[in-house]
Amino acid sequence: MKRFSVITAFPEIFNGFLSSSIIGRAISSGLIEVELLNLRDFAEGKHRQVDDYTYGGGGMVLMAEPLYKAVQAACSISGRAMVIFPSPQGVMLSQEVVESLAQEDHLIIACGHYEGVDERFVESCVDLELSIGDYVLTGGELPAMVIIDAVSRQLPGVVGKAESVAEDSFFRGFLDHPHYTRPVEWRGKRVPEVLLSGDHGAVLDWRRRQAADRTIVRRPDLLSRANILPYLSCGFYVTLFSAPDISLEELERICTVSGAYGAKKVLVVTPLQKPVTTDLSMVKRFSSLESAMSWIGKSEKKVPYVVGMTEAPCGGVHWLELKRRVLERDLPLSLVFCADELLAKEASHFDTMMCLDERGDKIPLSCEVSVVLDRLFGSR
């Protein structure tokens, strides 16, 4: 069971949140436990004072000692916990951070208020400062609710259907697709026909396309950390063009990494110097780049989007821009690795070039392929 301990001077703020909707049901079912610790219970003196004026002038700041004692009390049962402090100075809360926090058994969230908290408490007790956005709130109570809600959704059984979590915005780095319910027509606007067709494959394709289009238009910044492969309707291919010196061992490494990232085939356009004695099922050979691209077109029933990898300064688009273009076109993708002089000679076969990082030393081709595939099809 996931345990949350919230340290706050205003515990009453949480009453409605903890008794309603998904979080309320999760608590009732014993899937999560949320403990509210009133900060004033750990303060001294007749008035149970938890704040004081800041040194150097300014507003009121929460004192370190009551917060420290509250953390110690929260840890007394589990013995070990991760202490989070919601703060504008913290790491931005993202889906990746949420998924990491879901692996922790016990989270303690210490809510600041007024001008903040004594920095010595942060230095001594806090494991992670988290921000939910670049704006200022009265206290940490609202961010604490956001953290509890987001983390709880990742736990088995909290959300009724696991697929609902998988389809949420940001789950794979993309925005969610549009949703519709009854009636079929509302104020002259109809539900898209594909959603009424009963064709589950077509519905899935439509939702995937809508999610990709929304992300491209509304949040292109998300593409930097997203694997775009689940949102493509066609496959991608790694093409090695005129690499006569490649060894069998190097080719095997390229096949391994290409397969790991989801490539359908590794196309070798020039004969290997050494005869192949091992069956490399990922490899398909061609005598020319034109015949290789023609084969992709016949296999996928769509003309491929052909991208050459170049090391020439300013010779191609940045990899982030390439991700956007690949998503936008949604065609079979061929990533061609070859020397820059060959790219120039065969320019008519390429739709665009992607600029590789300039490096002082030449790295093995398998490493180059790994870097490119990770940028396009890796998740961050």
Q: 245 and 222 in one domain?
A: no
Say which of 51, 141, 153, 368 is annotated catalytic.
Answer: 153
115 is a catalytic site residue: yes
The per-residue pLDDT for 313 is 66
CATH of the domain at 358: 3.40.1280.10
In a domain, 164, yes or no: no
Amino acid at the residue 97: V
In a domain, 180, yes or no: no
How many whole angstroms from its chain centre is CA 172? Answer: 5
In a domain, 272, yes or no: yes
Q: 244 and 199 in one domain?
A: no
What is this structure's pTM?
0.81
- Which residue, 182, 181, 231, 171, is CA-closest to 206? 231
Q: 288 and 207 in one domain?
A: no
Q: 80 and 68 in one domain?
A: yes
Sign of dihedral through CA atoms 310, 314, 316, 320?
Answer: positive
120 is a catalytic site residue: no
Amino acid at the residue 159: V
The per-residue pLDDT for 242 is 85
Q: Of 226, 257, 286, which residue constitutes the final position of a domain? A: 226
The per-residue pLDDT for 277 is 47
Q: 136 and 6 in one domain?
A: yes
Q: Which domain holds residue 40?
A: 2-152
Cβ atoms of 353 and 309 within 8 Å: the answer is yes
153 is a catalytic site residue: yes
3 is a catalytic site residue: no
In a domain, 159, yes or no: no
In a domain, 176, yes or no: no
Six-digit token pair at 310?
A: 């170049």
Say which of 33, 52, 105, 115 is annotated catalytic.
Answer: 115
pLDDT beneath 70, residues of the chain: 161-171, 244, 271-279, 313-314, 358-361, 380
Q: 327 and 210 in one domain?
A: no
Q: What is the tally of structural domains in the chain?
A: 3
Q: 247 and 211 in one domain?
A: no
Say which of 168, 176, 205, 340 is annotated catalytic.
Answer: 168
In a domain, 166, yes or no: no
d(CA 191, CA 183) in angstroms, rounded, equals: 8
The per-residue pLDDT for 332 is 98
